[in-house]
Chain A
Amino acid sequence: MVHALRRAGQRLPSGGSLISIRPHRTWRPLVSILTPSRRVPVARLINSAFDSRLSAAEAALARVVHEGRFALAGIRNHRYRARLDNLSQLRTYLELISPPRPRFPAGRRAHLLELWASRPRDAKIEIAESVVVTALRRR
C-alpha cells in the first residue's frame, strides 16, 4: 500500500491531491427493502478481512505523511445510498466490489429473499454505504 501511494506521488506535481476513499470502519453497509411508504432494514453486511485492511490503509497514509511526501489536507465521512430494482442487480453490485467482498450474515440473505418475495409493488433494494475520504496534498 505504501508503495502504491509513493508511486502515485511520483506522478503528482507539488500541490497535487491524493484522495483515498474507503469504507467506514464501524458504519457497515446496510441492505434494506424500500417500499413507497417505508424502509425495512434487512442486514448489515460483514467482511472478515475488513478491519485488518482498513488498519493497513490508515497506516500507509500516515506513513507517507510522516515521510514528508504529503501533507494531510483533511478527512471527511460521507454516506450514500444505491437503489436497485431487483436481486440480480444486487448480486452484480456486490460482485463488482473489489475483493474481499462483503457478505450477508448467516440467515440474512434468506431473510431478504423472503421479504423480497412478498414485496409490494414498486419496492426497491437499497444499500446504504458510509465511506471515509482522506485527502493528502503533495509537498
Chain B
Amino acid sequence: MIEHFSPLKGRRILEVGCGDGRLTFQYARTAARVLAFDPDRASIEEALDQQAALDIRNVAFRWGSIEHLPARGAPFDVALFSWSL
C-alpha cells in the first residue's frame, strides 16, 4: 500500500510511531536504512528484541517522539507516520 505512492527499496526511511516494529520489519530489508521512533518504551524494547531475532541491522529504533529529531541532519527520502498522527 505504501509503495503505490513511493518505492521503499534502497530508500532512507524515517518512521514515526513504529510501535513494536510490525510495519518496520516488513520493509526494512529492502530499505537502505531506517530510523524508527516511538514514544512507548515497552514497544521499542519489543522491537529491539525482534530486531535481534531477525538479525536486521539497518534499522535504528529510538524511544521518544519526533520532536527529539534535530531539524538538521542526514536527509530521508520517505517519512512514514504509521498510526501516529
How far, in whole Å, are A35 and B1 apart by their CA atoms in the complex?
A: 28
A73's nearest neighbour on chain B, judged by CB, is B5
Distance from B21 Cβ to chain A, minimum over Cβ atoms (Å): 10
* Cβ A4 vs Cβ B81 within 8 A: yes
- Contacts of B38 on A, CB cut-off 8 Å? 98
Total A-B pairs in contact (CB under 8 Å)?
106
CB distance from B56 to the nearest CB of A (A): 18
The answer, yes or no, to whether B69 is at the interface (CB within 8 Å) is yes
Evaluate contact between A12 and B76: CB separation under 8 angstroms. yes
One of A13-21, A37-45, A115-123 contacting the partner = A13-21
Tell whether A133 is near chain B: CB-to-CB under 8 Å: yes
18 new A-B contacts at CB < 8 Å, known A12-B77, A73-B5, A97-B83: A4-B65, A4-B67, A4-B85, A8-B16, A11-B71, A12-B78, A16-B75, A17-B5, A19-B5, A19-B6, A21-B2, A21-B23, A21-B80, A21-B83, A98-B43, A98-B83, A131-B1, A133-B2
Interface string of A99-139 (1 = CB under 8 A from B): 10000000000000000000000000000000101010000
Is B14's CB within 8 Å of the partner chain A? Answer: yes
Interface on B for A, CB 8 Å cutoff? 1-2, 4-6, 14, 16-17, 19-20, 22-23, 38, 40, 43, 46, 65-67, 69, 71-85
List the B side residues contacting A73 at CB < 8 Å. 5
Instruction: Report chain A residues within 8 Å CB of B73.
Output: 11
Can you list 20 A-B pairs with a CB-CB distance of less than 8 A?
A4-B85, A8-B79, A10-B72, A11-B75, A11-B79, A12-B76, A19-B2, A19-B78, A19-B79, A21-B1, A21-B2, A22-B83, A22-B85, A57-B85, A73-B5, A96-B22, A98-B17, A98-B40, A131-B1, A133-B4
